Amino acid sequence: MQQVLNNEIRLASCAADEEAAEGEFWDGGRGVFSYYLLRGLYGQADIVKDKQITFDELQQYINTSFKADEYLQLLKHKQAPVTDGNPLLVMARVDVLAFIV
């Protein structure tokens, strides 16, 4: 996981010296990282509104969501996702009919 090659990407819920938060707060009992990862891939990360999610958009969405998450703040839990890779890589295409917030 130290190097990212070609079209590979790195997605880790936290740094090696951190603990990943999980709890009922996030979709009834999942990890905070997977909660925001899935929401981002389903469309919330489409910052440009072009119906596709690039790796850069996904990174921005996850980082912004972690900073704003009220439960992480309430718990004073420090967790920083580790992401690396080609920022232009398309991670998902958005089907507006499939995602309802």
Per residue in 83-96, pLDDT (tens digit) is 999 999 999 999 86
The bridge status of strand 30-31 relative to strand 22-23 is antiparallel
Per residue in 33-71, pLDDT (tens digit) is 999 999 999 999 999 999 999 999 999 999 999 999 999
Express the helix, strand and coil content of the chain in percent, nearest 5 each: 35, 20, 50
pLDDT of residue 95: 83
pLDDT of residue 8: 84
Residue 67: inside a domain: yes
pLDDT of residue 30: 93
Residue 85: inside a domain: yes
- Per the structure, the count of domains in the chain is 1
CA-closest candidate to residue 33, choices 41, 21, 42: 21
Residue 3: inside a domain: no
Residue 74: inside a domain: yes
At 65, which CATH number? 3.30.70
Residue 100: inside a domain: no
Residue 78: inside a domain: yes
Residue 101: inside a domain: no
Global confidence as pTM: 0.87
Per residue in 10-33, pLDDT (tens digit) is 899 999 999 999 999 999 999 999
Q: Which domain holds residue 35?
A: 9-93
Residue 40: inside a domain: yes
Pairwise pLDDT comparison (97 vs 83), residue with the higher score = 83
